[in-house]
A and B are shown apart, each in its own frame.
Chain A
């Protein structure tokens, strides 16, 4: 029995071996390139958004041009091409390709920067090497070209006479629309990795493309971007919409789909315009509880689901008459208006509460710990929307289901509805394609899951704010400024509402800012063309400040700073860390900027790349440092025993890295056991200057190309720096908040947070190092 089995196995193995051998000997070299070995094939993917244009450029050389390209390269002893030769070839090729690509936006030529480049030599037919160069280029959209509609022209002038596959794909960023395009929105060859084997169709020969881009709705009478088979191209890749398009829905796939939908919904909530700020500000201002947050989440889910369903139905029945794109701005405006009204109402009420001119103000005591609060008042100004205002003191009047809570529940409901009113377009697409595919039930389920995920995030954010708010529950002294805070939070809500309304107006084609700008430019002498070059000096500097503020919030900056901040438990010190970072950043930026502006030189791309890589290593280092500190907490934190006026006192004690016990037996704690606030060290300064150096390349290019006067350029950098100092000051303050709060209460939570910050920083650092070092080809041949 066993022998038979063994012999069977052997026979099987022999058969497989024979088959494999036969396969080897009979397989003919299959030409990977559709046009034969002479070709140089081009692939371009253009992704444009409001601020920049990104170009993925792939050159695939067939065997003969690959041979030509590598012919002159230096060889190693074994005949293989030396890495140095390949590196310098790649360096040259990327520069040459970048120069051969022509991009204009509204007639203005956009210089391209090399973001990354790689070279590989995959085997082609007959085992001969082919040559593949992949580059990522980036160009900044001139802020001056910030028009409602922009016209792009792209031309690939590399290898103009060479035969080969030429493919161009346009990818719009989400929320933007592309129309009147001579190129298509879908690709064929997967970046020249798989050519169509159909020998009859002519190879693509797309060497130029023109298209228009708008953030608003499509103008009438234009043709939206299409795929190669004539369908309208999706705006960006819509992962949620892909869920519905699985060929067969098995229970497992269905469950997986639902989970993914929920996850995507949760992530989606993080994208702007979902009222996270509103939820947070509201709950902080109105002293919400976990139940409130949950209720808010539930409302959002229901509203969002209902909204998608309703819009789906409307779209379905009225698709002949109404374009869905036209409905979105309207809904957006409505939800913005609701937020605005809520914010303004709250603001007025709270302001009144502060100034004590409220109509039904009364004091009360007994149940809640309202110590030392002279202006503690309930504000029952009218019957429809009563709001509690307690002069900024965090306490809860809202036991679950309590009768008096109806007021807040109602405004919560309104808030929730406004958060969920605007259906996410991809959810709508899923519903519609579900209907088209006769999978209505599954589609509905997916939408519900998506909404639930969305709500979960919002609720979680709400909970965090509620939780954080609890730390402030302690009675606070009388302070007029402090009592203004709820009013301020209401103002934030109103601001966000106004911003949403504004966006909606822009989407529907009404350009408030255009009107304002027209008015302001006509009133000033700067002229009408609002480009950076022709804008007044004041406007340029104003922009610099805004961009500086925004710049501080870039991921690699925030990660590095929060790692340092996580080591501190003092808010002031956290803010100082941010400020110092900004200072370092500004100093290095200005030093480099002055050199660049004075000498009118460009910083070589590889220098920037190495600096970026250095930043990644630095972030890893910071993360390791934070992690080590967090894990060493036993040596830092200890029970501390000392006397306070004769009473033996015992408490948990933490040490910053810099602080020392001056003596355990000294009676006065305050005198000798100082934890200096100002001592933050030079670390943030150094980190900031490293960031400044790494970022200087891109920034100075922008400044050089856009600002004519060196003096103005210098001031722009200065103001930009000040903006980034200020921005990072605020950022680090915000980041420091959870650390500061947790340090007061629970050592474990604090160190947990610090560990997480360190670990995240290390992870991000590695990813960043990979992106800047490996993926961009910086280290490919150096390793």
Chain B
């Protein structure tokens, strides 16, 4: 048999085999399998949408149907602002702004659009612009309860507490709802009336719109904060837990619960909670707290990274400037970039006279060794009688630096009594300083010996 014959026979044999393999593999491929469930399983489509998501969808439908009515765009803007609150992500505010821009295009003087714009100013910390706009709106509709809310908020931030109280009173009179009681609670808290603040916030929680879990969770977190201030830690934590049940992974509640855990001495859990909160949205205040916590438990590298992150966010995010005071305080607490910190806070102080701005300025002035100005500023911060451990601590440290041991001791004790873990790193310094004031210095004893 020649090679050619072999070739032909082989070619055809292969062809037969290929045919067989093809047929076989076709048979194999079409074996009957597991019966499939037909239709779409609604439970597995996607994760649950938040109320803001639902509102965004609704608003977009409205825009499709009524593209020439400002209401549709207002609806969308407000939904995006709610989404920003739900997620703590500024990005959505930019979308709200874009929607408002369209509303104004359609109707330049639309009242609701302007109202939303004022709200947006508040979230951007542009308080004087918010106040101006709110006053304009007040002249248009003197009985709009929302406007008084904005008047309250902007005046609180700007330091006009008397004006804020008037506006809040008017708001409660017009409609005593959750938003109004929340503001009453906050003002009472600022004036040192913790019990009153707890009462008002309890009402606010009860009066919350059941369809807006984020606002319920927000109220509960603030109620919890007041309870913490009254040293009722267990109750506070219950509120935080409820907030997390109402609105899972709510960053504000995670951070608040972490603070409560720290106060209870459970730093491991606190780390986990802060990390969860940061996982969702890395906000500067969370990063600072987590950094301090890392530093406290000896994870110095990670702490450093958190602090770097704060600087990065503050300098590179679209809402940059919103957290500049936190950044300045971070620098001051760590005794770095003190002149830059001073510039930031002085700039803020020139437009805002709120007690927290005064407190920050006082602390940074102290760090810059400008004691007289620091004292003046801390007195402004203390003017309402607010029970805030941090302000007390700063006051104590300023008096200590000035040699006023009596006041130093008083305020440092107050700080520790109000919240023994108000700040993981600074609280230790408060205790050390207090101990140094009260006890005769050990080196003195050495000298006498």
Interface residues as binary, B1-27 with A (CB distance below 8 Å gives 1, 0 otherwise)? 111111111111111111111111111
Among B90-98, B153-161, B332-340, the stretch that binds chain A is B90-98
Does B36 reach chain A (CB closer than 8 Å)? yes
Name A513's contact: one of B31, B87, B91 (CB within 8 Å).
B31
Proximity string of chain A (452-477) to chain B, C-beta cutoff 8 Å, 1 when within and 0 when not: 00000000000000000001101011
Check B268 for interface membership: any CB of A closer than 8 A.
no
Nearest-neighbor residue (CB-CB) of A40 within chain B: B279
Cβ contacts A147-164/B at 8 Å (1 or 0 each): 111110101000101110
Indicate if A107 sits at the interface (CB-CB under 8 A).
Answer: yes
Contact partner of B4 among A67, A208, A471, CB < 8 A? A471
A392-441 contacts to B, CB under 8 A, are 392
At the interface, yes or no: B37 with Cβ under 8 Å from chain A? yes
CA distance A199 to B26 in the complex (A): 51
Q: Is the CB of B40 within 8 A of A65?
A: no
- Evaluate contact between B44 and A208: CB separation under 8 angstroms: yes
Assuming the contacts A200-B102, A208-B46, A499-B19, asked whether A571 and B7 have C-beta atoms less than 8 A apart, the reply is: yes
Question: Chain A 33-63 against B: per-residue CB contact (8 Å), 1 yes, 0 no?
Answer: 1111111000000000010000000000001
Q: How does the 8 Å CB contact mask read for B311-322 relative to A, with 1 for contact and 0 for none?
A: 011001110000
Interface pair B8/A163, CB less than 8 Å apart? no
Q: Would A499 and B15 be within 8 Å (CB), given that A35-B89, A219-B38 are in contact?
A: no
Residues of A within 8 A of B57 (CB): 202
Interface of chain A residues 107 through 151 with chain B (CB within 8 A): 107-108, 126, 128, 143-151
Question: Does A549 lie at the interface of the complex (its beta carbon under 8 Å from any beta carbon of B)?
Answer: yes
Is A733 among interface residues, defined by CB-CB distance under 8 A? yes
- DSSP class of B's interface residues: helix, strand, loop or mixed? helix
Q: Does A202 lie within 8 Å of B36, measured CB to CB?
A: no
Selected from B6, B10, B23, the residue in CB contact (under 8 A) with A499 is: B23
Residue of B nearest to A144 (CB): B33
B76 at the interface (CB under 8 A from A): yes
- Of B89, B98, B312, which contacts A36 at CB under 8 A? B89
Question: In the complex, A415→B399 CA distance in Å?
Answer: 105
State the Cβ distance, A760 to closest chain B Cβ, in Å.
Answer: 22
B contact residues, range: 35 or more
Is there contact, CB below 8 Å, between B32 and A511? yes
Q: How many residues of A contact B (CB 8 A)?
A: 97
B89 CB contacts on chain A under 8 angstroms = 35-36, 38-39, 163
A771 close to B (CB within 8 Å): no
Contact with A along B35-47 (1 / 0, CB 8 A): 1111111001111
Q: Per-residue 0/1 for B121-148: is the Cβ within 8 Å of any A Cβ (1 yes, 0 no)? A: 0000000000000000000000000000
Interface positions of A from 476 to 514, Cβ below 8 Å from B: 476-477, 479, 481-482, 485, 488-489, 491-492, 495-496, 498-499, 502-503, 506, 511, 513-514
Asked whether A182 and B45 contact (CB < 8 A) given A481-B9, A491-B16, the answer is yes
Q: Which of B12, B27, B305 touches A492 (beta carbons < 8 Å)?
A: B12
The digit string for A173-217, where 1 denotes a CB below 8 A from any CB of B, is 000000010100000000000000001111001111010100100
Q: Specify which of A207, A543, A575 is in contact with B46 (CB 8 Å cutoff).
A: A207
Asked if residues B10 and A733 are in contact (CB atoms below 8 Å), the reply is yes
Q: Is A281 an interface residue (CB 8 A)?
A: yes
Residue of B31, B94, B308 touching A199 (CB-CB under 8 A): B94
Is B10 touching A571 in the complex (CB atoms < 8 A)?
Answer: yes
Determine if B44 and A492 form an interchain contact, defined as CB atoms under 8 angstroms apart: no
A72 adjacent to B102 (CB under 8 Å): no
B376 CB–A CB distance under 8 Å: no
CB-nearest residue of chain B relative to A62?
A: B91
Residue A523 at the chain B interface, CB threshold 8 Å: no
With beta carbons under 8 angstroms apart, the residue of A50, A72, A151, A392 that contacts B37 is A151
B96 closest partner in A (C-beta): A199
Interface positions, chain B 294-345, Cβ under 8 Å from A, are 301, 305, 308-309, 312-313, 316-318
B438 CB → nearest A CB, Å: 42
Q: Is the CB of B90 within 8 A of A36?
A: yes
CB of B33 within 8 A of CB of A150, answer yes
Cβ-defined contact, A147 with B35, below 8 A: yes
Q: In the assembly, what is the distance between CA of A121 and CA of B11, in Å?
A: 54
Contacts of A570 in B (CB 8 A): 3
A516 to B30, CA, bound (A): 11
Residues on A lying within 8 angstroms of B by beta carbon are 31, 33-39, 50, 63-65, 67-68, 71-72, 106-108, 126, 128, 143-151, 153, 155, 159, 161-163, 180, 182, 199-202, 205-208, 210, 212, 215, 219, 222, 277, 281, 284, 392, 471-472, 474, 476-477, 479, 481-482, 485, 488-489, 491-492, 495-496, 498-499, 502-503, 506, 511, 513-514, 516-518, 529-530, 543, 546, 549-550, 570-572, 575, 730, 733-734, 737, 740-741
Listed by A's residue number, 16 A-B pairs whose Cβ atoms lie within 8 Å are: A64-B312, A67-B312, A161-B279, A182-B45, A182-B46, A200-B99, A206-B46, A474-B4, A495-B22, A499-B22, A502-B27, A513-B26, A530-B32, A572-B6, A737-B7, A740-B7
Please name the 4 residue pairs, one residue from A and one from B, whose CB atoms are nearest each other, closest first: A147-B33, A36-B91, A199-B98, A495-B19
